[in-house]
Amino acid sequence: MCRDDDNYYVISEFLYGDLQDELEKQGRFNEHDTSHIINQVLLGTYYLHMRDVIHRDLKPANVLWGDAEKTFIKIADFGLAEEMPEGKTYYNKKVGTPHFKAPEMIKIMGKYNNKIDVWAIGVMAY
C-alpha cells in the first residue's frame, strides 16, 4: 500500500476474469478443462480447510483466472468466510448463494460445517 497527502493506493495482482464470465462465453467446458479447474478449486479449498477456514460462498464468480492462458485459478471473495476450528458447527446462518448451498444450510436450524464448501464445488462441477 502506498499513500500521498490526499490518497491511499492499494496495489494488487492483476487477474484475468472469473469462471462465471468464461462459462457465459463458452457455454460449457470440456471434461479435461473441467477436471483441471475443479482439481485446483479442491486443492485451494483443502488448503483453507486445513487452516480451519470455511469459505461459505464458493461459486464460479469467486473463481478467478490467475493467468491469461487460463491455466490456474485463485479463489476469491472471502467476505462470508469464517474461522471454524475442528468440531465446531454453525447453526442457522443462512449465507451464500442459493444455487450453491448445501441442503443442511437450507434447513431451519440446520447444522453445517466445512463440508458445505465441497457441496458447492460439486455443484460447480455439474
Full DSSP string of 32-59: HHHHHHHHHHHHHHHHHHHTTEE-S---
Task: Label residue 18 exposed, middle or buried (CB < 10 Å: 0-12, 13-18, 19+).
Answer: buried
Would you state the pLDDT for residue 1?
66
| Short-list 116, 79, 115, 75, CA closest to 98 | 116
pLDDT of residue 2: 78
Amino acid making up residue 23: L
Domain range spanning residue 56?
15-125
User: How many domains, the chain?
Assistant: 1
**Residue 95 lies inside a defined structural domain of this protein:** yes
Residues carrying an active site annotation: 57
Residues sharing a CB contact under 8 Å with residue 56, sequence separation 6 or more, in sequence order:
80, 81, 82, 95, 96, 116, 117
114 located within any domain? yes
Determine, yes or no, domain membership for 4: no
**What gap in Å lies between CA 24 and CA 66, rounded to an integer?**
18
Q: Which residues of the chain have pLDDT under 50?
A: none
Predicted TM-score (pTM) of this structure: 0.83
pLDDT given for residue 109 in this prediction:
66
Tell me if 6 is assigned to some domain.
no
Question: Domain for residue 8, yes or no?
Answer: no
The crossing angle, in degrees rounded to 10, of helices 115-125 and 31-50 is 170
- In this structure, which amino acid lies at residue 54? I
State the pLDDT at residue 102.
Answer: 87
- In a domain, residue 10? The reply is no
What integer pLDDT is reported at residue 117 of this predicted model? 94
**Would 3 be classed as within a structural domain?**
no
Residue 38 located in a structural domain: yes
Return the CATH number at 39.
1.10.510.10
What is the residue whose three cell numbers read 479463489? 75
How confident is the model at residue 92, as a pLDDT?
60
